């Protein structure tokens, strides 16, 4: 059985589980640890290393990061400490864990998982996955091929960054009703549709488990809008998918 450890670094938590690469299923209960604060590279790497040790893992691991990753180097860090910018994540995380690793943007990882095992399986044309969580992550696919490191959560709407208006965290912090929040999400999706004309929009992140609360409230979109089927496991599975071959 082909398997790898998937590790999903987020702004508030770091999750991990071994994954069956043929089915996309988790092979053990996922373990979640709090993201250290401040989320400096060395502190986050130590938490990742603890997860590897907790699973007694010695094989390859894939790791997500909430920012743009180019050749293993962090280029942006919107929801973690800015000391990550310019850091060789591949080197820092590989040295800390002692296992072969690969690093990918977190939303890109979720997108890979959904396109292979979830709501995007078999979809052609332009598909956009958006993770609504601490911020808004995005993954763009053209005929199943990933266009890496899109940061569509950072486009401006009404003079404000989109993820500061329509993320799940904003809904909770501002105590927005589902209707009020859905209106903001709707406006954001209309902007994305004008830019990209996707055939399918997949809404991921933890809020996807409550899609019945807001998807029926979205109006005026040409694209089909569906909830991610892998929910919060998508990042772990997508991370495992890009782990180095053992």
- Joined tokens for residue 139: 């993954």
What integer pLDDT is reported at residue 246 of this predicted model? 66
Give the start-to-end residue ranges of the domains of the chain: 3-108+234-241, 121-229
What number is the average pLDDT over the span 3-24? 96
Specify the DSSP class assigned to residue 58.
Answer: -
What integer pLDDT is reported at residue 215 of this predicted model? 97
What number is the average pLDDT over the span 78-103? 96
What does 167-226 look like in DSSP terms, one character per residue?
A: SHHHHHHTT--HHHHHHHHHHHHHHHHHHH--SEEEEESGGGGGGGGTGGG--S-SSEEE
Is the pLDDT at 11 greater than 80? The verdict is yes
CATH number assigned to the domain covering 121-229? 3.30.420.40
Helices (H), 55-158: 89-97, 106-117
The CB density around residue 112, as the number of other CB atoms within 10 Å, is 26
- Tell me: domain 3-108+234-241, CATH 3.30.420.40, correct? yes
Compute the C-alpha angle 20/26/28, nearest 5°.
115
- Joined tokens for residue 189: 């999706």
CB 84 within 8 A of CB 74: yes
Q: Do domains 3-108+234-241 and 121-229 have the same CATH topology?
A: yes
pLDDT in tens, 164-183: 999 999 999 999 999 999 99
Is the pLDDT at 105 greater than 70? The verdict is yes
What integer pLDDT is reported at residue 78 of this predicted model? 78
User: What percent of the chain shows pLDDT beyond 70?
Assistant: 100
pLDDT in tens, 48-81: 999 999 999 999 999 999 999 999 999 999 789 9
Distance of CA 212 to the CA centre of its chain: 21
What's the pTM value of the predicted model, to 2 decimals?
0.95
């Amino acid at each position: 059985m082909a398997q790898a450890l998937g590790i999903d670094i987020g702004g508030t938590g770091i999750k991990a589980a071994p994954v069956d690469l043929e089915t996309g299923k988790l092979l053990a209960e996922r373990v979640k640890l709090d993201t250290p604060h401040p989320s400096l590279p060395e502190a986050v790497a130590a938490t990742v290393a603890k997860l590897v040790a907790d699973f007694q893992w010695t094989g390859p691991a894939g790791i997500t990061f909430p920012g743009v990753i180019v050749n293993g180097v962090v280029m942006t860090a919107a929801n973690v400490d800015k000391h990550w910018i310019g850091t060789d994540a591949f080197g820092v995380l590989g040295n800390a864990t002692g296992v072969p690793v690969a690093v990918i943007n977190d939303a890109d990882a979720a997108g890979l998982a959904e396109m292979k095992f979830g709501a995007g399986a078999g979809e052609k044309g332009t598909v956009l996955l958006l993770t609504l969580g601490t911020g808004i992550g995005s993954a763009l696919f053209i005929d199943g091929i990933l266009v890496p490191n899109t940061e569509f959560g950072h486009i401006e709407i009404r003079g404000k960054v989109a993820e500061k208006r329509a993320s799940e965290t904003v809904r909770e912090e501002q105590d927005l009703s589902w209707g009020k929040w859905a209106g903001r999400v709707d406006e954001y999706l209309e902007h994305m549709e004008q830019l990209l004309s996707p055939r399918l929009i997949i809404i991921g992140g933890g809020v996807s488990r409550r899609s019945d609360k807001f998807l029926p409230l979205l109006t005026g979109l040409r694209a089909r809008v569906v909830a991610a089927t892998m929910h919060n496991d998508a990042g772990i599975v997508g991370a495992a998918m890009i782990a180095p071959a053992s």
